């Protein structure tokens, strides 16, 4: 049976890119593979980027990211879901991989280059970020990794690290494959400035737990197809952010009405955005209600995460034992 692993950073509010690109796949794969699907909130990763990390807020954000995943349908009775720093083996395996990974490979990572470009002093942890990711995945010998397209390069590096370890120390790890939500590879930001991203701040994101009136304020001013200067100018919904979002949220008859209305200038962009808002309301309202219930029961959330960490450790410990032995550390 496949073993699934994925992680999500508690660096900002979870947005519809995270939700359609990754979180929905966690739930879907969890329904199929049960306790062979392992997910975690990666707080160790979150401290590598000084621009997005606040020690006073980290624990709260970690809980909030857990709440979002539970509210989106992740069931701790069916899958394993925990917080990365609760399982110290992630760091232990990461160090072993650090010793195997050429610095040049890490310096080539696109996300590293993007993030480092904005920093005056680059923490070594930012460079090592993908090594820790490889440790996350391989600690559970996972072969299936649900992610958005932006993680492709990191998963390729994970495969290289697995190969190198196996070559150096003998066959130990699988070479994992990324799996994508094919309709949500790279969801654009609502500001029209490329990919939706937590690290670009609230202006780019539509949060899944964001109040609906705040979402509407962002949509109202969101750019549309520039061809539609006047309401009477026809447009192309395939070239429009709002068209992209309709495909995620709206049912087929609504998409038909909105897309035809856009192409024939039968409707204006505000009408089209209002139709989209209906789909958003339908999708997010139940999720936000579940999140409110969970926030009212913090003990349940903490207990579920503690149980998840226990289950994760039970898998991680023997794998780490095997690694220690193969690497040649003294056993006492």
C-beta closer to ligand TYM: residue 126 or 235: 126
Can you tell me the distance from the alpha carbon of 135 to that of 142, in angstroms, rounded to the nearest whole number? 10
Q: Which residues pair with 188 in a beta bridge?
A: 195
The nearest distance, CB 189 to ligand TYM, in angstroms, is: 7
- Quick one: which of 8, 66, 208, 276 contacts ligand TYM (CB under 6 A)? 8
Query: Binding mask 149-178 vs ligand TYM (x if CB under 6 A, - otherwise)?
Result: -xx---------------------------
Of positions 79, 83, 106, 137, contacts ligand TYM by CB under 6 A: 137
Question: Is there binding between residue 250 and ligand TYM (CB under 6 A)?
Answer: no
The answer to whether residue 164 is catalytic is no
**Residue linked to tokens 């359609």:** 20
18 is a contact residue toward ligand TYM (CB under 6 A): yes
H helical segments located in the chain: 16-18, 24-33, 43-46, 55-71, 89-98, 103-107, 110-117, 124-138, 152-169, 212-220, 241-249, 252-263, 269-295, 298-327
Catalytic, 198? Answer yes
SS3 22: helix
**Which range touches ligand TYM (CB under 6 A), out of 91-99, 119-127, 143-151, 262-270?**
143-151
Distance CA 312, CA 75 (A): 15
Q: Look up 200 and say whether it is catalytic.
A: no
**Catalytic-labelled residue, pool 195, 200, 274, 326:** 195
Q: How many CB atoms lie within 10 A of CB 159?
A: 18
Report in angstroms the alpha-carbon separations of 70 from 3, 39, 40, 77, 294.
20, 11, 12, 11, 8
Helix (H, G, I), strand (E, B) or coil at 146: strand
Report 44-73 residues binding ligand TYM (CB under 6 A).
45
42 binds ligand TYM (CB under 6 A): yes
30 in contact with ligand TYM (CB under 6 A): no
Residues forming the site for ligand TYM (CB under 6 A): 5-9, 17-18, 21-22, 42, 45, 133, 136-137, 145, 147-148, 150-151, 184, 186-187, 195-197
Residues recognised as catalytic? 115, 195, 198
């Amino acid at each position: 049976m496949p073993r699934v692993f994925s992680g999500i950073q508690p660096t900002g509010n979870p947005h519809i890119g995270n939700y359609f690109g990754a979180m929905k796949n966690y739930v879907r794969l969890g329904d199929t593979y049960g306790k062979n699907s392992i997910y975690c909130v990666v707080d160790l990763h979150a401290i590598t980027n000084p621009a997005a990390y606040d020690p006073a807020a980290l624990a709260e954000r970690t809980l909030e990211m857990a709440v979002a995943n539970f509210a989106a349908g992740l069931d701790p009775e069916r899958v394993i879901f925990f917080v990365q720093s609760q399982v110290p083996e992630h760091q232990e395996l990461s160090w072993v991989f650090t010793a195997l990974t050429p610095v040049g490979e890490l310096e080539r990572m696109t996300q590293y280059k993007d993030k480092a470009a904005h920093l005056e002093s680059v923490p070594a942890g930012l460079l090592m970020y993908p090594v820790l990711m490889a440790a996350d995945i391989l600690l559970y010998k996972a072969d299936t990794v649900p992610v958005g397209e932006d993680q492709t390069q990191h998963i390729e590096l994970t495969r290289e690290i697995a190969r190198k370890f196996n070559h150096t120390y003998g066959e130990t790890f699988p070479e994992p494959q990324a799996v994508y939500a094919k309709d949500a590879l790279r969801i654009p930001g609502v500001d029209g400035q490329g990919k939706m991203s937590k690290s670009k701040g609230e202006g780019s994101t539509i949060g899944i737990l964001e109040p609906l009136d705040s979402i509407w304020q962002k949509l109202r001013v969101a750019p549309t197809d520039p061809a539609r200067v006047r309401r009477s100018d026809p447009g192309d919904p395939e070239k429009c952010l709002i068209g992209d979002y309709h495909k995620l949220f709206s049912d087929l008859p609504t998409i038909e009405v909105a897309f035809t209305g856009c192409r024939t200038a039968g409707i204006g962009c505000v009408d089209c955005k209002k139709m989209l808002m209906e789909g958003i309301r339908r999708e997010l309202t139940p999720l936000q209600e579940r999140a409110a219930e969970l926030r009212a029961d913090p003990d349940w959330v903490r207990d579920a995460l503690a149980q998840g960490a226990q289950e994760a450790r039970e898998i991680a410990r023997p794998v780490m034992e095997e690694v220690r032995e193969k690497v040649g550390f003294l056993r006492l």
